[in-house]
Amino acid sequence: MTVVGIDAHKDWHTLVAVDEVGRRIKELTVEARAAGHRKIMTWLEAFEDVTVAVEDCRHLTRRLEADLLESGHRVVRVHTRLMAGMRRSSRERGKSDPIDAEAVARVALREEGLPTAELPGASRDIKLLSDHRRTLVARRTAMQSKARWFLHEIDPELEIPSRALRRYHLLDELIEYLEPVEGAVAEIALDLLVDIRELTVRINALESRLSRLVRSSHPSLVAVPGMGTLGAAMIIGETAGITRFRSRDAYARFNGTAPIPVWSGNKVRVRLSRGGNRTINTALHMAALTQIRMGAEGAAYYDKLIAAGKTRKEALRLLRRRLSDRVYAAQRADVVPAVQAPASDGPLESPTIEEPASSMTLIAA
């Protein structure tokens, strides 16, 4: 078996091939262009059983990964943290592109279960559209804040309800009101309101498009109580393929809902995870609050924890972990037939979560 590690840069890619015991066999440096990618495909033909490992920098390697996958190669991604640790433990001191590429290859040779690259699909489209919508919403929010102060300066008696500067009829009325008003303040406020209206049209169009994509590709996830299409889009985009997680516990660790063990002795103690994917964690938090407010399936579990003596924060954290498992099962149901689901993960329809053992103590981070 041969493992080829790739250290990718914007203009150059360096490849190092190692054998089954990690000895360097060959080395290649090519331009990060289409011609360079073709050289890589030709170079890889010299190896019979080859696995390609790339440092997980998808903004640099996405085009190369696609070319490798279309050529039939297996591509795995190596996190920068793992690569850096391997480089420090190497007998060859220093840092260079060949050293980094060799470290990537040795990590892929040593580690099992590394994320496997796949060709872009609906999940990437959902992520791109969801991120773009959030960017537009942030831009609109900044404009709304500035417009409110200008409107207050023009007429302090104008009362604009909270979150109302995204309603078409109100924006049209304010634009019509400001058109005859003279002065630089009124001119700037008018420009801001026109831009806000245009952004609102684009944001609503993106939301409708996301809703169609999410409902068609992940119906089970949208069916989770408290989960809206925007929250589901955030989860789908950041998860980037649920099949790359071996279990619901691995997924909980990825999104930061799994506690971290911090004991040394025979008394089990854990603390909250401050890491993980905070975007997914936020979507799970919003879904948990919605379930509690609406009295959905998580509300009874939350009330049970409160009755057992948990604080509201503790109960909400446990519900968030429960939702993580529910979301994991729903995503697997959308992409994997039920018969192929791991038995250890429980039923896909309604997974149950065991309550923490009485000997486990949760301490603040």
Helix, strand, coil proportions of the chain in percent (round to 5)?
A: 55, 10, 30
pLDDT in tens, the chain (365 residues): 899 999 999 999 999 999 988 889 999 999 999 999 999 999 999 998 899 999 888 888 889 999 999 999 999 988 877 877 676 666 666 678 888 898 899 988 888 878 787 777 788 889 999 999 999 999 999 999 999 999 999 999 888 888 899 999 999 999 999 999 999 999 999 999 999 999 999 999 999 999 999 999 999 999 999 999 999 999 999 988 888 888 999 999 999 998 877 777 777 676 777 788 899 999 999 999 999 998 878 899 999 999 999 889 889 989 999 999 999 999 999 986 543 444 444 443 434 334 433 333 343 33
CA–CA–CA angle 101, 250, 279 (5° rounding)? 85
The answer to whether 238 touches 279, Cβ cutoff 8 Å, is yes
Q: Quick one: tokens of 272?
A: 């909250």
C-beta of residue 36 within 8 angstroms of C-beta of residue 13: yes
Report yes or no: 55 and 6 within 8 Å, Cβ to Cβ: yes
